Amino acid sequence: MPKITFTLSPGSDFIPLNKLLKILNLVGSGGEAHIMIETKQVQVNGAIELQKRKKMRAGDTATFNGTEIVVEA
């Protein structure tokens, strides 16, 4: 499984899940990110995540479309 590490911006405690997927170019738009989350295609820390704006903090891991995303500070 491919792994991507995302580093939070200095002074930022989190990034919303939908924005994370878009920034990493795993989806084409914010709307597509919402659909992927709503249709249970995204997992956070091993569980299906339905919150579009889930606060992804350092240490959290998301899995989407065969890619693992690790958030770090």
Distance CA 49, CA 52 (A): 8
pLDDT band at 1, cuts 50/70/90?
confident
Q: Is 39 exposed, middle or buried (0-12, 13-18, 19+ CB in 10 A)?
A: exposed
Where do the structural domains in the chain lie, given as residue ranges?
Answer: 3-72
Q: With H, G, I as helix, E, B as strand and everything else as coil, classify residue 69.
A: strand
Q: Which residues contact 65 (CB under 8 A, 6 or more apart)?
A: 26, 36, 41
Kindly report, residue by residue over 9-56, the tens digit of the pLDDT. 999 999 999 999 999 999 999 999 999 999 999 999 999 999 999 999
Task: Identify the pLDDT of residue 51.
Answer: 98
Instruction: Specify the CATH class of 3-72 in words.
Output: alpha beta
